Structure 1
């Protein structure tokens, strides 16, 4: 079947032909006629099968008739990452070059004023990431009650990145009568429940098994010690005929470390991750596509939607913790019927994550051994923890504490290896001794009458009015500012039965009686 048989206009077919495409992919062949009918679509297809053209081509024909109003886009395409949004925008420019449709791209890292200028003119197609779109809406720069077509692309990635609450808020701002196109590379039960919230009687399209890899990608698994991973990567790059390659790391800081290591060893490398400035990210990706950079070390920000023609290799320097990410990473190569190779470096402690990937793809990943590095005798462990955590401390070898061994927050200094039953008596004795020692130290020491100073004895015999004008010699002294006397600690043993008969220390003749404080005088023996 050709594109002419799908019901597309002559202008769109001509633009597709200019781009070098002759036959539609399975997802395009099934989705385009349904979208042209105005029905909701739930599309599931593995990455690299042409999902983007599957919804952009019919949207161009649908939007060809009509006119955009200021700040009221006629269609909206939500993408999880800036790179993917920019890729879709480029496709619209390519396929819609014979139409006069206006388009705006709302992504982070770009000036708000430039984007607001485009929105003020009115746009037919709005391509945005959820965060930046809500920023514009909060500023009052956009209205969504005129959206007739909504596209939620890479919905599973949206969920992984935590964008679903933002997506739900955006959908609530749109009219209920609209056409919604929901596309995802994988379709889990949670994803299906989410789709049911947004779609009305959708046409489900699944061109392949939801969780599968392309047959054009040769997969290899290399098991090495953690300390040998960089040497193994460099050796493999030199042994393989690498035209261009993506190297994926799980963490952004590892991207920077590996990039500097490759540069140090004379390899033509670049880096790409979410913490970089948008202009630098765009320039780096453009240099990689142009061939100025041969190897691009990146995070999962490059695992979706980046279409690089003729990408020969993908290296997973780290085993992805989410098995679905493995499909998207290696899906960057072997696209459009071309052959590709994907290598995954795993340490023995990564056995759990490798097992999850092999369960997802329905078969084992063939082992590959680098003779210079070795690793034939290494086996993947079935443990659930990696050997080292973020702080570099061992986390896989420590034995889990038995029931009752874990201390509370107040017992951080307690040894986890000691049973709780053995700790309780020791703590009780220590607390009891501490309380008794505190009470003994704070209890007032009564002096014998013969040893009391003359001044203190005279003060005890003096009238209460005169003693109030003088600073008391008792440990329960009044404050230096003439305020109420300080409260004595550890006074649980005080006898309050005789307090009414005891003299008081006040602030002067005008002090109310209810603020007076009794003071105990040493009783004579």
Structure 2
């Protein structure tokens, strides 16, 4: 097997490699470095975690060791899709170029323009940037790209996913035609292939593994699961995630949980923290300082579980990650390769578990078609077959407004009264007659006399209707089993027994005469 000493690297670079603890290059490094040192365009395709960053960092330092940068005219350019990946590339340059006096600038969002302008004004040998921030500096007149000797596009397919392809094409046109271009990615979609054919000159294609393959040392499992209801799916899914984490036991030293949406990242991280897990979120909407502080804590094993969006799936070099959980099945099949590539790095074993709901099966089928592998299905843990919130108990107590009371119609259909209705009737039977105001006492004899005259007819009606104060049609109604509908019985207020007076006709003589004339006509 080839050693770094056989790759014609600068002696100072080789010394820095040894001090970093490496001696043997990976396949992508072994094949790409010689061609890069010969100033050839390189198109490198390798699965994530195989050392692509060092494959272009080491030859760049060797080539740039001679020469000097001018103000606002960087000598080399490295484009990265995310801030985290750009910061990681900058760390690699610091590690392997510590014995060289190369200047470097990092142009990413979340950092003051003023500080970045100062670095550019001094002149930089290596410029590492995200496309958006780079073009911002260019449009402000603070940067010229006519002195670029080497241009690197890292994670090119991620550039495509994030919509950076128009910016990449524009940046290419701003750089000299004689530049050397290095393309590195884990996958190579047709759109990226078109881009390389347009801007690369007779590139050397290096493909150390089949496109979109996953590491053989990664154990992949799918937990197929169905929620009890649509409303409870989110909470039950979080419960299932916690059950899977607990089931791994001491085998799980640290883990990354990937979600499709940024909102889910915050919710899942908050849920894990609430249940006592050492977890924190990372996604594009967080402040850059917070994101870097979270990543540093995860690398230092101060944080056990990192809940992330796909911004953390591409190219981040976190050496030891024991588990990766796909809380959501990735919509884009290529993202699955990058996600699980965070574990099983540098020959270590890793575990990748994917939670799959019925509606996500179509995405899982596309993933298996891409990687040409059938992923093992594993049932959820025994204590997580039905995780989630228990149904709320029925409210109890007389003073609880939510307590369910049978409706009036239900009492009729069931042929019985509620306890409440019977208690009201009993209380009304035992209650003494209330005192009437003096104004009502004057008319009492007359009302009693009228009530006595109407009593025989009313009693007859009550007997026919079962004791209720209803008309003949209502008296014929029953609850379906022949039992009459119960009313107030004999406890009827006196005013309800007073007969209604007859209404006088409001028609005038003139109107009667008109009606007679019309009838005669």
1: distance between equivalents of 2:279 and 2:13? 38
Which position in structure 1 is the counterpart of 2:303? 293
Please point out which of 263, 268, 273 is paired with 2:273.
Answer: 263
1: distance between equivalents of 2:223 and 2:79? 37
Which position in structure 2 is the counterpart of 1:233? 241
Please list the CA deviations of residues 165-221 of structure 1 after superposition, one character each: whole Å capped at 9, or x if unmatched.
011111111111110001111012222111111100111100000110011111010
Please point out which of 310, 322, 332 is paired with 1:312.
Answer: 322
Which position in structure 1 is the counterpart of 2:382? 371
Which position in structure 1 is the counterpart of 2:495? none
Task: Note the aligned Cα RMSD (angstroms).
Answer: 0.9
TM superposition shift of 1:287? 1.1
Aligned length: 375
Which position in structure 2 is the counterpart of 1:350? 360
TM superposition shift of 1:348? 1.1
Which position in structure 2 is the counterpart of 1:218? 219
2: distance between equivalents of 1:268 and 1:95? 33
1: distance between equivalents of 2:291 and 2:342? 18
Which position in structure 2 is the counterpart of 1:103? 104
Which position in structure 2 is the counterpart of 1:187? 188
> Which secondary structure does the structure 2 equivalent of 1:344 belong to?
strand
Which position in structure 2 is the counterpart of 1:31? 32
1: distance between equivalents of 2:133 and 2:302? 31
TM superposition shift of 1:268? 0.5
Greater helix content: 2
Which position in structure 1 is the counterpart of 2:151? 150
TM superposition shift of 1:161? 0.4
TM superposition shift of 1:154? 0.4
Question: Pairwise mapping of residues 108-119 of structure 1 onto structure 2 (< 5 A)?
Answer: 108-119=109-120
TM superposition shift of 1:284? 1.0
Question: Pairwise mapping of residues 418-457 of structure 1 onto structure 2 (< 5 A)?
Answer: none
Which position in structure 2 is the counterpart of 1:79? 80
Please list the CA deviations of residues 73-127 of structure 1 after superposition, one character each: whole Å capped at 9, or x if unmatched.
0000000000000000000100111111100000000011110010011000000
> Which secondary structure does the structure 1 equivalent of 2:58 belong to?
helix
2: distance between equivalents of 1:268 and 1:211? 32
Please list the CA deviations of residues 2-56 of structure 1 after superposition, one character each: whole Å capped at 9, or x if unmatched.
0011111111111111111110000000000000000000111110000000000
1: distance between equivalents of 2:225 and 2:97? 49
> Which secondary structure does the structure 1 equivalent of 2:344 belong to?
coil
TM superposition shift of 1:308? 1.1
1: distance between equivalents of 2:31 and 2:343? 24
2: distance between equivalents of 1:313 and 1:266? 19
> Which secondary structure does the structure 2 equivalent of 1:350 belong to?
helix
Please report the TM-score for the alignment, with normalisation by the length of structure 1.
0.71
2: distance between equivalents of 1:169 and 1:191? 15
1: distance between equivalents of 2:192 and 2:145? 24
Q: Runs in 1 of length 4+ with deviation above 2 angstroms?
A: 225-228
> Which secondary structure does the structure 2 equivalent of 1:336 belong to?
helix
2: distance between equivalents of 1:202 and 1:80? 22
> Which secondary structure does the structure 1 equivalent of 2:296 belong to?
helix
2: distance between equivalents of 1:81 and 1:303? 10
TM superposition shift of 1:273? 0.4
**Higher Rg:** 2
> Which secondary structure does the structure 2 equivalent of 1:283 belong to?
helix
Which position in structure 1 is the counterpart of 2:3? 2
> Which secondary structure does the structure 2 equivalent of 1:237 belong to?
helix
Please list the CA deviations of residues 243-285 of structure 1 after superposition, one character each: whole Å capped at 9, or x if unmatched.
1110000000001111111111010000000001111111111
2: distance between equivalents of 1:159 and 1:282? 24
1: distance between equivalents of 2:171 and 2:54? 24
2: distance between equivalents of 1:24 and 1:326? 26
Q: Which runs of 5+ in 2 are unaligned?
A: 228-232, 387-521
